[in-house]
Amino acid sequence: MLPFDADPLLVEASALRDAAARVRRAAASDRAASGRDAEAEASAIAHDAERREIAARLASLLADPHARRLVDAELDERARALRVAVDALRRRARSAQRERAADRLLARAISGGRALTGAERDRVAELRAPEPDALDGVHSAERRDRLLAILGAARLREARGQLRDGLLLTAQMRRIVAEAVPALLQGEPVLLLGETGGAKTALAEHLSRRGAGREPEFVSGYGDITGAQLLGAHELRAEAGATVSAFVPGPLLRAMSEGRPIILDEINAMPAEFLKRLNRILQLRPGDRYGVQEDGGRAVRVARGFAILATANEQTPHRYRGLERLSAELVNRFGANAYRVHYPDAGLPYERFPAENALIIAAAVADARGALPETLPYPQIVRLARAAFVSQQVFAGAHGEGFADFVSTEREIDGRPGLEESVLAPRTVVALARKVAGSAGTITLDHALHRFVDGVMHREDRRVLALIIAGQGFRLSG
């Protein structure tokens, strides 16, 4: 990253270097496809010629002694910044390793059903002690900016990996994981409540795979699912020339007997008759036995590792059709392990920068080096993140300063949210950003947003979303 007031010669050299890198990647991509496509081979040859032309222009520029001195000085400064950045990243890696070691120590105690000893408490505190900040000794504003740019790219690469792994670990997600994992390890049920598209399911999967260390069974509440499909049913089979009836366990009983978590996704869409039985199942812990009515009362022993992870959408009037209100009795079975999963940047004042939304969008489209695509530059990501943040808070019912501009008087009087059914949820903006970034420049962000708004069925939502998006400088003309 060059300073904003960098010498024009450095700016030109940097632009040529970036152009050469783009052409090199294009040539490699075309060459990989050349065995299947003769045109791709011809394109790769043309890219090679363009790269040689760019290299010649760069060599000509650097032939000037003044330009060479500028570039060498810039490379030296970048090398110094990289050394400090590497030290900072190593400190972060050591801190993360120590945090994981503390988590493992705590997990062993929980699995053993015991409290930490005094020595173990001291060890956990030692492992979680913060590392000194590597930037404390940097006093040059220019060098500090370079370091922040390098560390920002590293954070973007980390966020990209997390997103590809299923869940971006924002501060909110880390807090829930830290609190919910000990409960899961003891076999206690966990309930994740929140609005649509807020990553509840991804969080449940992360808790099972990374927190409990087991692959979960998964059941979606939507559709005509029955209690028999969840618990199991008798099936006719051919054995030794005869037809016999055999009981086949469903995902819930498999999770119980195999010691794995089960995710009940959108639990408030599940049939009432199953939810009544779930009241009893939520009380089960490892070592307990459960009599299966569908299998003649046969008892299944609950193996260690079994736990229920349930997700549910917020119970808002006029929203989420087909969902039942969860009974207070059922919710109380989750005890202190019911967590509300808010949208990113929840609680942030209207005028503040929505950093979590921006990181989610950037991580979705960044390449392996942490670089953003030319088709979706950072200023556009900032505006998209802001539109997403405002829509999420209006959808969630925010009526405060700034947000109230998008809530009609009638809705404000009734205490209803400004958006009824549609929102630029995290998964929505990720899909929009990837659509634009993967279009090779043929689809603009304005066009993608126009398509999104045009597909909204609720007329008032369509109007409000258009206002929010246009307020960030986007043109929805189609």
Token pair recorded at residue 233: 């049913």
CB atoms within 10 A of CB 306: 26
Q: What is the pLDDT of residues 423-468, one digit of tens each?
A: 999 999 999 999 999 998 899 999 999 999 999 999 999 999 999 9
Token pair recorded at residue 285: 């812990």
**Local confidence pLDDT in tens for the 478 residues of the chain:** 566 556 788 788 888 888 888 888 888 888 777 666 778 778 888 888 888 988 888 888 888 888 888 888 888 877 887 787 788 788 888 888 888 888 888 878 877 778 889 999 999 899 888 877 766 666 677 777 777 778 888 889 999 999 999 999 999 999 999 899 999 999 999 999 998 889 999 999 999 998 889 999 999 887 667 777 888 888 877 777 777 788 888 899 999 999 999 999 999 888 877 888 888 899 999 999 998 888 878 899 999 999 999 999 876 555 555 556 777 888 888 988 999 999 999 999 999 999 999 999 999 999 988 889 989 999 999 999 999 999 999 999 888 888 988 888 888 777 788 898 999 999 999 999 999 999 988 999 999 999 999 999 999 999 999 999 999 999 987 5
**CB-CB contact of 229 with 236 (8 Å):** no
Query: d(Cα 120, Cα 109) in Å, to the nearest integer?
Result: 9
pLDDT of 323 reads 59
Q: Which domains does the chain have, with CATH numbers?
A: 8-164 (no CATH), 186-341 (3.40.50.300), 355-470 (no CATH)
pLDDT of 135 reads 66
pLDDT of 365 reads 95
Query: d(Cα 55, Cα 60) in Å, to the nearest integer?
Result: 9
- φ, ψ at 442 (rounded to 5°): -85, -20
Query: d(Cα 405, Cα 464) in Å, to the nearest integer?
Result: 10
pLDDT of 221 reads 80
CA distances to 38, 65, 170, 203 from 197, rounded to whole Å, are 43, 56, 15, 12
Strand partners, 191: 310, 338
List CB contacts of 390: < 8 A, sequence separation 6 or more.
350, 402, 403, 406, 468, 471
Token pair recorded at residue 359: 């990181």
pLDDT of 34 reads 63
pLDDT of 319 reads 53
Token pair recorded at residue 256: 């119980």
CB atoms within 10 A of CB 255: 25
pLDDT of 134 reads 65
pLDDT of 5 reads 59
pLDDT of 176 reads 94
**Could you give the 3-state DSSP secondary structure of residue 129?**
coil
pLDDT of 280 reads 87
pLDDT of 322 reads 52
